[in-house]
A = this chain, B = another copy of it.
Amino acid sequence: MSKTLDFYFDFYSPFGYLASLQIDELAAKHGREAIWRPTLLGPAFKAMGQTTMLEIPMLGDYAMHDFDRYARMQNVPVKVPKKMPNHALPAARAFYYINEDEPALAKKLAKKVFHEIFNQGRDGSKPELLADVAEELGIDSAALLTAIAQTDVKQRLFDEVDKAMARGVFGSPMIFVDDEPFWGNDRLEQVDLWLQRGGW
Is A142 an interface residue, CB under 8 A from the partner?
no
A22 interfacial contact with B, CB 8 Å: no
Interface centre among A69, A72, A184, A187 (most CB of B within 10 A): A69
Question: Which residue on chain B has the smallest CB distance to residue A184?
Answer: B186
Q: Report A89 CB to chain B, min CB distance, Å.
A: 22
- The answer to whether B168 touches A58 (Cβ under 8 A) is yes
A65 to B183, CA, bound (A): 11
Total interface residues on A, CB under 8 Å, equals 28
**Chain B residues with Cβ under 8 A from A186's Cβ?**
184, 186-187
Residue A50 at the chain B interface, CB threshold 8 Å? yes
- The answer, yes or no, to whether A120 is at the interface (CB within 8 Å) is no
Which chain A residues in 65-102 approach chain B with CB under 8 Å?
65-66, 69-70, 72-73
Copies of this chain, whole number: 2
Is A56 part of the contact surface with B, judged by Cβ < 8 Å? yes
**A148 nearest CB across to chain B (Å):** 28
Q: Is A138 an interface residue (CB 8 A)?
A: no
The B-contacting residues of A in range 143-187, CB under 8 angstroms, are 168, 170-171, 181, 183-184, 186-187
On chain B, the residues within 8 Å of A57 by CB distance are: 47-49
Given A62-B170, A66-B183, 13 more pairs with CB closer than 8 A: A44-B58, A47-B58, A48-B56, A49-B57, A59-B170, A65-B181, A69-B200, A70-B190, A72-B200, A73-B190, A73-B200, A184-B186, A186-B187
22 contacts between A and B (CB under 8 A): A44-B58, A47-B57, A48-B57, A48-B58, A48-B59, A49-B56, A49-B57, A50-B56, A50-B59, A58-B170, A59-B170, A61-B168, A62-B168, A65-B181, A66-B183, A69-B190, A70-B190, A72-B200, A73-B190, A73-B193, A73-B200, A184-B186
